A and B are shown apart, each in its own frame.
Chain A
Amino acid sequence: MNLKIYEKEAGMEIYMEGELDHHGAKDTMRRINSAIDASMPQTCVLDMSGIGFMDSSGIAVVLGVYRRMEEVSGSMRVRNVPVQAKKVFKAAGVDRIVDFE
């Protein structure tokens, strides 16, 4: 998973690129969490336009970011979710918890 993390005035923006499965999930989570811990942003936007494939491992990653942002009293949104990943989120009911743009 390729991550591009930008800190803007409005908050943190993370661009995810690649296939999000169990194989890369742990490392992805660790890198996102350490970025959040380092700068404690008010908002975090996950841009998933570069996700070519995602399975339920991606649910754990997104909910992990959601919880981490709650811990630092911030909020998060998910943006540009491709059709396949959207279907996974919907089947799991994640769209009722997390804010999708």
Chain B
Amino acid sequence: MQPVNEMNLEFPSRSVNEGFARTAVACFAAQLDPTIDELNDIKTAVSEAVTNSIVHAYPGKIGPIHIRARIFEDRSIEIVVKDKGIGIPDIEQAKKPLFTTGNEERSGMGFTIMDSFTDKLVVRSRPGYGTTVKMLKKMLPFAGLK
């Protein structure tokens, strides 16, 4: 399927960019005329993915985070969040609820939330090279007519 529209965003892994990133993607997704709930789901999933790149990918330093969002004719959006950080050695383990390598301010529920707030979640990672999180969400039909 060919995308109808696409946007790319790159920013440094500073925590102040968490709000910027989720809002920017939500603004782009607004072209699909989503419901408020659908928009909030997108915001939440993006916030989790971006926060992970900020918190876990570049320990003790700042590195680049890239987001690509594409929308398709079937009213779906694909969001890819990519970093060039330390990577995840065991993705299955990382995705388990409550698993975290972070401190007490992390809950270990990020991947669980990304999974339940989107229709599809694909995580690819290579230790030493980085992590790519791809999420797909399809808006309900005729949202604009509600």
Q: Which residues of A contact B (CB under 8 A)?
A: 19, 21-23, 25-26, 29, 53, 55-57, 59-61, 63-64, 83-84, 87-88, 91-93
Contact = CB atoms under 8 A, between A and B. Distances in A.
Interface in B109-123: 109-110, 112-113, 116-117
Contacts of A64: 104-105
Contacts of A29: 105
10 contacts: A21-B19, A21-B51, A22-B15, A23-B15, A23-B19, A53-B22, A56-B48, A57-B106, A60-B104, A93-B97
Interface string B28-53: 00000000010011011001100100
Contacts of A92: 97, 107, 109, 112-113
A77 B91 CA distance: 35
Interface string B57-94: 00000000000000000000000000000000000000
B17 to A, nearest CB: 8
Contact of A22 (B43, B54, B117): B54
B18 A59 contact: no
A21 B105 contact: no
Contact of A57 (B22, B41, B107, B116): B107
A91 B43 contact: no
Contacts of B105: 22, 25-26, 29, 57, 60-61, 64
A55 B112 contact: no
B43 to A, nearest CB: 6
Contacts of B110: 55-56
Contacts of A19: 19
A88 B85 CA distance: 27
A87 B97 CA distance: 16
Given A22-B18, A55-B48, A64-B105, 11 more contacts: A22-B55, A23-B16, A53-B22, A55-B110, A56-B51, A60-B107, A83-B40, A84-B43, A92-B107, A92-B112, A92-B113
B112 A91 contact: yes
Contacts of B37: 83-84
Nearest to B55: A22
Given A55-B47, A60-B107, A92-B107, A23 B18 contact: yes
A21 B44 CA distance: 10
A53 B18 contact: no
